[in-house]
Structure 1
Amino acid sequence: MIRHRRYAVPLTAVLLALATGVALGAGPLRDATSSASPAPRVVTQAAAPGYGDAFAASVASRLYDRGLSRRPVAILTLPGSDPATISALAAQVRAAGGEVTGTYAVAGQLVAAQQKNLVDTLGSQLAQQLKGHLDAGLSTYPRIGELVAIAAANQGSAQAPPGDDAAAVRQSLVAAKLLAVPPGHPQTAPLLLVVFGSQTDQAIADGLLTGLAARSRGVVAVGPTRDANLTGLHADGVTRQVTTVDGSQTQAGRVAAVLGLIRAWRTRGGAFGASGADGSVPLG
């Protein structure tokens, strides 16, 4: 009997411990371990498609603050540029208080590498006719860029009637089917908005834009997001004189382009837009 009692005590203790454990698991300790509620679920909702464009459209007029008032703009389109984009850009220029003096269309021949002899010959002839107004050392595409600028732009602060030089250049470029000029002898403008389309040989784009910048007060070049030519202009240093803005297929990009024109009146250069090296929006 004594031996039985000696083992009964430990057995009773084990049973009590098990019973206590079950009770604890079903009681206060279980509540303690489960009282910590799970972390709150953060639900994020993507912005509705088109929100960025809608936002840009709604704030555009405040951002512009009539910054192009009494500042004429000529639009120069390159082959392959989208007509809807061109119309939308013109509308934004007017929304900023500006006036589009005319839209000039660069023909495919002017930027086609296989037509370089034609462009070079005509450029040399026109340079001679202008009696030293162009640097004799200019190469083919910077020279044709300056000639196109003489036809469409000026370096002043207002639109101006085309003089004899502009009239002669227009007539020659049209006759050679290198440039389409708007009807009615449009006046020249201090600001040029260049709309890129199909990809152009980068050396041609560099030369053309360099020439345009030399004969105008300010040049802004726009193109689709991550446009290869705009990227090349920055890589080749042309954006020291020419402002580039990509994303022209979006309302946000078009608003940024017009802000670029406002800025270009006093400050040249910079790469802006959806993937611009100098920021998204050309302010200041």
Structure 2
Amino acid sequence: MGRRPVPGRHQHDVRPDRQRTRNPPVITLRHHLLTVVAVFLALAAGIVLGGGPLSDVNQSVVTAGNDDEPAPAADRARTDYTESFVSALGPGAVGGRLAERSVALVTLPGADEQVVAALAEQVAASGGSVSARYELSDDLVDPGQKSLVDTLGSQLLTQQAEGDVAAEASTYDRIGQLLGLAVATKDVEGQEVNGKARAIVDAVSGAGLMAKPDEVSQRAPLVLLVLGTDARDEGADAILAGLAQGLAAQSVGVVLAGTTADGGDGQLGRFRADPAASGVASLDGIDTTAGRVATMITLQRSLATPGGAFGASGADGPVPLG
């Protein structure tokens, strides 16, 4: 006797373990950022879409979208190509943007030295100059050392900055403004270092809150504040906000810059939720060539327009377009 057909068997002919679903294309955030900024920089350099190197970048993105599972080596090669592409276009895109303007480079503890050096090189490539490097110490941003910072700030306010810094300023806003008086100026042309500036630097460095820089001759209109290690200590975010806000009060413009990891829920991302962010431009992605180029464009923008969130996770886009 033949076997009777099992009702509904055809419903089981295609089994779950035989189903094949194409994986979505894998394009990293870093790759996406670099590609977007590369397109912008290409436009800034006058390259015509549809021909030349830019068409290769577009093709790279399309190819990535057609791969089921891009091999790590292939993905790395695409990222390296985009980095090289932006590096080649960078000088043409930033050249002259900071002409005859100086930038005070202020770094927080743990800032990557290679990235800091690369940022200084980009300032020079943009026609500007770094007035000095000011390295803030661990004690300055340690919530446990607030009493020291508060006492020093009160003394300097009375001795050097009465009338320049509001007496009711909070501890870290006040020390930020005092540092601003020493390293920056509201004059877009920059100003010579005066006795007040030297006295503040001597006092802050003497208290172990900052490394004393080499001989400095000028106070800069722009401040580039570079993030370091995200300690995530309670009170650390308020310290950063106070410092940035204080520096912004005494300068033409401040750009707070961090790596791609600093965006999102990192320290830079959290800063963007603070009211102090309205007067301070922020940018994440300085660990990439594109991010460093975008930092120069953001510095130029800050000469006329404060604020803005740019970079890999910036709400205002990867780079200022206006």
Give the TM-score of the pair, scaled to structure 2: 0.73
Q: Given residue 205 of structure 1, which amino acid in structure 2 is its aligned partner? A: L
Return the offset for 1:248: 1.1
Structure index of larger Rg: 1
Q: Tell me what 2:100 maps to.
A: 70
Residues 113-151 of structure 1: CA distance to partner in whole angstroms, max 9, x if unpaired? 000000000000100112322101101000010011111
Q: Tell me what 1:225 maps to.
A: 260
Aligned CA-pair RMSD: 1.7
Q: Which among 34, 54, 64 is matched to residue 84 of structure 2?
A: 54
Unaligned runs of 5+ in 2: 1-64
Q: Tell me what 2:287 maps to.
A: 249
Q: Given residue 268 of structure 1, which amino acid in structure 2 is its aligned partner? A: P
Report matched runs for 1:1-284 at 5 Å.
43=66, 48-129=78-159, 130-200=161-231, 201-227=236-262, 228-284=266-322
Q: Aligned equivalents of 1:226 and 1:91: distance in 2?
A: 22
Residues 143-200 of structure 1: CA distance to partner in whole angstroms, max 9, x if unpaired? 0100111111111012321112111101100110111232113311000001101115
Return the offset for 1:51: 2.4
Q: Aligned equivalents of 1:84 and 1:226: distance in 2?
A: 16
Q: Aligned equivalents of 2:210 and 2:176: distance in 1?
A: 11
Unaligned runs of 5+ in 1: 1-41
Return the offset for 1:43: 4.9
Q: Aligned equivalents of 1:172 and 1:63: distance in 2?
A: 40
Q: Which runs of 4+ in 1 moved over 4 A?
A: 42-47
Contact 1:263 1:283 in 2 (8 A): no
Contact 1:226 1:275 in 2 (8 A): no
Q: Tell me what 1:20 maps to.
A: none
| % identical equivalent positions | 43
Which has the higher mean CA deviation after the structures are superposed, 225-234 or 104-113? 225-234
